Chain A
């Protein structure tokens, strides 16, 4: 008997795998994936609604941002491009300074509704960014 111990051990357990087991696993996986898709769709719909709400609340400020960015007209953009071509470092510095000043003024004028709009836009942004990141390690496996 001792010499056959290795052979007996390698023969494995008495009962064979149920033939339908892989199919049952695949069936349960299909169920889990369908549930995942439903959850993801619901989450995306919710986040889209939240984003839309944020955009609507911030619409006046967004229009203002658009005007500021273009300098009120395409002529402003052409002037900026011409300046950037002749003195790039100086132009970038002036633009950044102006942007910081403008952000300060914008923050002061946002008000409660504006802050709510920013928050509504930030939540979906972080949720979508989180989805793009690889899964974090949570200590020991599974």
Chain B
């Protein structure tokens, strides 16, 4: 964690609005990416992001400058996402990513780009169909960029369980992608 961010977190936890707003600007893209994996569509992902920040502001005094900020924020977002899942039983697996205007920046052929898009779309759908605990582990690891120990702390499960969830999630995803290729 950078010194500048430590200072921002300290000031934000003391209620300094400009410091908190700077944290919003820094962490919203990563938070959206994480939440998007857990939300069925963009609208809900946006709503969750906004609600997570409002809750973070409300509980800003609990945020410790000695610890990384994002896992704390991710825990808030995760709790909100879980609440939404509970409300929506059985799980809604709607809305696979549908934007086709997000082509990779590298110079690849149209065919390769379309193939990559399709692979990402399939992967997104398969992730949405994973068991919730595996999906959370994948989102926190790959979209939130958290360490295994941080995931364990955020979700409140043992480190070995995190490893198991991630391994099984990857095995499941790999099997489904291989089946598509076959």
Contact = CB atoms under 8 A, between A and B. Distances in A.
B49 A25 contact: yes
B54 A29 contact: yes
Interface residues on A, range: 20 to 34
A8 B29 CA distance: 18
Interface residues on B, range: 35 or more
Main secondary structure of the interface of B (DSSP, over half): helix
A142 B75 contact: yes
A29 B20 contact: yes
A26 B21 contact: yes
B152 interface: no
Contact of B54 (A13, A21, A28): A28
Interface in B42-68: 42, 46, 49-50, 53-59, 61-62
B76 interface: yes
A12 B141 CA distance: 11
A22 interface: yes
25 contacts: A1-B174, A4-B119, A5-B123, A5-B170, A9-B138, A10-B142, A11-B120, A13-B37, A14-B99, A15-B42, A15-B99, A18-B32, A18-B46, A21-B32, A21-B49, A22-B28, A25-B24, A26-B24, A28-B50, A28-B53, A28-B54, A29-B21, A29-B24, A33-B57, A135-B61
Interface of A: 1-2, 4-5, 8-18, 21-22, 24-26, 28-29, 32-33, 134-135, 137, 140-142
Given A135-B61, A140-B156, 12 more contacts: A2-B178, A5-B170, A9-B170, A11-B120, A16-B99, A17-B29, A17-B32, A17-B33, A18-B46, A141-B75, A142-B56, A142-B80
- 3 closest pairs, A vs B, by CB? A14-B97, A17-B32, A135-B61
